[in-house]
Amino acid sequence: MNGFWRTLPSPIIGLAPMDGVTDAAFRLTVALHARPDITFTEFTSVGDICFGAEGRMESLLYDPRERPIIAQLYGKDPALFYRAAHVVCELGFDGLDINMGCPSRNVASSGSGAALIKTPELAHEIIRAARQGIADWTAGQTLKAAGLKDGKVAMVEQMKAKASPALSNRRPIPVSVKTRLGYDRIVIDEWVTHLLAERPAAITVHGRTLEQMYRGAADWEAIARAAALARETGTRLLGNGDLVSMTDVVRRIRESGVDGVLVGRGTLGAPWFFSGNDAARQACAGTAPTLSTDTVSRAKRFEAMLQHARLFEEVMGARFPRMRKHLAWYCKGFPHAAALRAQMVRASSSADVERIVREFCETAMLSVTAPVPAALAAACD
């Protein structure tokens, strides 16, 4: 059951899930500027889905303009994956991704995330449980019948009401996996063979072990071996790691033979990143010898930053300090960016962002156009 995965363009160039980064406001900002081929939520605990408070499920809020949108879950209890799969389906997601690659000590020490690499039989059980939950929901089983309490069922209904309506028909959705090369050593050949036995729609491999965290360079030769094992199986194999430009994307796809990539760091402060997807596919096919290296103007950066800040307040509420890291990422690659960044990391609202940008524009005599507020545009013209 590969669903929409088989209809995606080839090679696939999508947005990677990043904890604390790819929240609903960030993903929508990316979608509005240049929609990736596929988008993943931040990972969400199956325990939080089944038992947690409403705030623990905000990572599952999404906008239909993000489609295809996949909910990424983590945990170690197959029974909770079974129930959580019902919720993912009920909320209208296009797919369910199981995190078997998070290197966080808090996650891995509980047996979840990348720790599942050490317990392949449990990994098999989790994939089967998620798939069975999807099948039972598709057949008509209710959330309550799946074992969810009345309060949680009501919470899911509220989420459906405040977000976009879920699809009315009960359709099965595909299961995929995101993982790493190994736990404390590279075992990707053996490990990916285990995963392929469950025939997931896709497997994304980050090119480091858990022990490496994000240190050193991603090992794309190991990713290439995983891609070779997946070839002809019906499972899409995607690579992830150290992709900061479309040139990186094209080079890694060509060298590794993956079916696509998920980009993380390259999108930080650059929601327009995926505007180069079509050109990258042409370059991969050899029909476009070079990729454009046009730099993004300061005006475009500021417009995107202001839009993102306003969306954050609208979607995520009053916790604006969480937006500051994004503001810092926008402030790069132009004269006096460091000075602007120093001000942005103290901003407490989108109004602060508007004021800081307006003052910078006035000093630098820049022009910023819509969609910024009229007052700001007038000040910068």
- Mean pLDDT of the 188-201 span: 96
Q: What is the pLDDT of residue 367?
A: 53
Tell me the CATH number at 139: 3.20.20.70
The better pLDDT of the pair 26, 170 is held by 26
Is the pLDDT reported for residue 211 higher than 90?
A: no
State pTM to two decimals: 0.92
Tell me, yes or no, whether 292 lies in a domain.
no
Domain presence at residue 291: no
Q: Report residue 293's pLDDT band, with 50, 70 and 90 as the boundaries.
A: low
Read off the pLDDT of residues 129-160 as tens digits, 9 standing for 90 and up: 999 999 999 999 999 999 999 999 999 988 88
Question: Looking at the 3D structure of the chain, how many domains does it have?
Answer: 2
Regarding whether 270 and 201 lie in a shared domain, the answer is: yes
Residues ≥6 apart with Cβ < 8 Å to 352: 346
pLDDT at position 376, please? Answer: 42
Q: Does one domain contain both 26 and 78?
A: yes
Residues 202 and 122 in one domain: yes
Residue 259 lies in a domain: yes
Annotation marks residue 102 as catalytic: yes
Catalytically annotated residue among 102, 284, 331, 380:
102
Instruction: List, for residues 79-99, the tens digit of each pLDDT value.
Output: 999 999 999 999 999 999 999
Q: Kindly state whether residues 92 and 224 are assigned to the same domain.
A: yes
Span 357-371, pLDDT tens digits: 999 888 765 555 444
The 10s digit of each residue's pLDDT in 223-257 is 999 999 999 999 999 999 999 999 999 999 999 99
Is residue 68 domain-shared with residue 91, that is, in the same domain? yes
End position of a domain, from candidates 285, 316, 335: 285
Find the domain containing 368 and state its range: 298-380
Indicate whether 307 and 201 sit together in one domain. Answer: no
* 104 assigned to some structural domain: yes
CB 71 within 8 A of CB 46: no
Domain boundary among 226, 257, 285: 285
Q: Are 183 and 126 members of one domain?
A: yes
Q: Domain check: are 339 and 368 in the same one?
A: yes
State residue 381's pLDDT score.
37
Q: Is 124 part of a structural domain of the chain? A: yes
